[in-house]
């Protein structure tokens, strides 16, 4: 073939470097998404615990005002996100919308948020069914669902290689705690 193959290693490296960068960025991006998901789960769990510890007496007329227990849960999520240096998407300024069945939903989407932003759903009358002694028991608790848009950096690198991927995707964290009173 060719009598001189001294530059073949450089050519092989030039061909394999984009693929190597592609995988390394993917690994870092996936680990960042996993770390963010864990922080969201922690925020949802703390929020559910705080709301479940609050008295249910403030749930009397949920259509007129946001109960203190729901407001406490929202503040816990907001403070947790800020303490972890996660963009709260303006959650502190978001207004809760009351839904049926003792449920409130906050939607925050400030200008610096990726995709659809952040959604916080707090349900104070979350029902679980447990079996006990041959019968069933309804357990009432607080369920918190936190949905956060995550912008994959992997898509930026992949698009330079010709791959077209989707934009931000949502990371969802669910947590529940039995109401104490």
Pick from 140, 138, 142, 148: nearest CA to 173: 148
pLDDT digits (tens, 9 = 90+) for 158-180: 676 676 666 668 999 999 999 98
Distance CA 138, CA 37 (A): 30
Residue 2 lies in a domain: no
Sheet holding 118-132, edge to edge: 97-99, 103-108, 118-132, 135-150, 169-178
Residue 56 lies in a domain: yes
What are the C-alpha distances in Å from 75 to residues 4, 51, 98, 122, 137? 69, 10, 17, 12, 32
Contact of 51 with 142, CB cutoff 8 Å:
yes
Residue 1 lies in a domain: no
pLDDT digits (tens, 9 = 90+) for 97-137: 988 889 999 999 987 887 889 999 999 989 888 888 888 88
For 89, the domain range is 8-178
pLDDT reported for residue 134: 83
Q: In the structure encoding, which two tokens stand for residue 20, read together?
A: 């190597």
Give the residues across from 106 on adjacent strands: 120
Q: In the structure encoding, which two tokens stand for residue 44, read together?
A: 């949802």
Q: In the structure encoding, which two tokens stand for residue 116, read together?
A: 């659809």
Residue 150 lies in a domain: yes
Q: In the structure encoding, which two tokens stand for residue 55, read together?
A: 């008295």
pLDDT reported for residue 167: 61
Backbone angles phi, psi at 86, to 5 degrees: -105, 135
Q: Could you give the number of structural domains in the chain? A: 1
Residue 42 lies in a domain: yes
Distance CA 168, CA 148 (A): 10
Residue 134 lies in a domain: yes
DSSP-derived letter for residue 86 is -
pLDDT digits (tens, 9 = 90+) for 23-81: 888 899 889 999 999 999 999 999 999 999 998 887 876 556 889 899 999 999 999 99
Residue 58 lies in a domain: yes
Taking the model in full, what pTM does it have?
A: 0.83
Residue 36 lies in a domain: yes
Token pair 């816990």 in the structure block, residue: 76
pLDDT reported for residue 37: 95
């Amino acid at each position: 073939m060719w009598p001189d193959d001294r530059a073949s290693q450089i050519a092989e490296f030039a061909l394999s470097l984009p693929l190597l960068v592609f995988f390394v960025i993917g690994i870092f991006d996936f680990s960042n998404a996993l770390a963010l998901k864990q922080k969201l789960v922690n925020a949802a769990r703390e929020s559910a615990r705080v709301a479940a510890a609050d008295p249910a007496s403030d749930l009397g007329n949920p259509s007129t005002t946001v109960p203190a227990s729901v407001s406490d849960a929202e503040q816990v999520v907001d403070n947790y996100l800020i303490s972890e240096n996660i963009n709260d998407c303006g959650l502190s300024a978001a207004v809760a919308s009351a839904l049926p069945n003792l449920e409130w939903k906050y939607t925050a989407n400030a200008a610096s948020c990726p995709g659809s932003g952040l959604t916080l759903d707090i349900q104070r009358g979350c029902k679980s069914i447990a079996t006990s002694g041959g019968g069933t028991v309804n357990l009432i608790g607080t369920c918190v669902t936190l949905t956060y848009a995550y912008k994959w950096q992997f898509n930026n690198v992949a698009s330079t290689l010709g791959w077209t991927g989707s934009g931000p995707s949502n990371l969802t964290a669910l947590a529940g705690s039995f109401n104490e009173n």
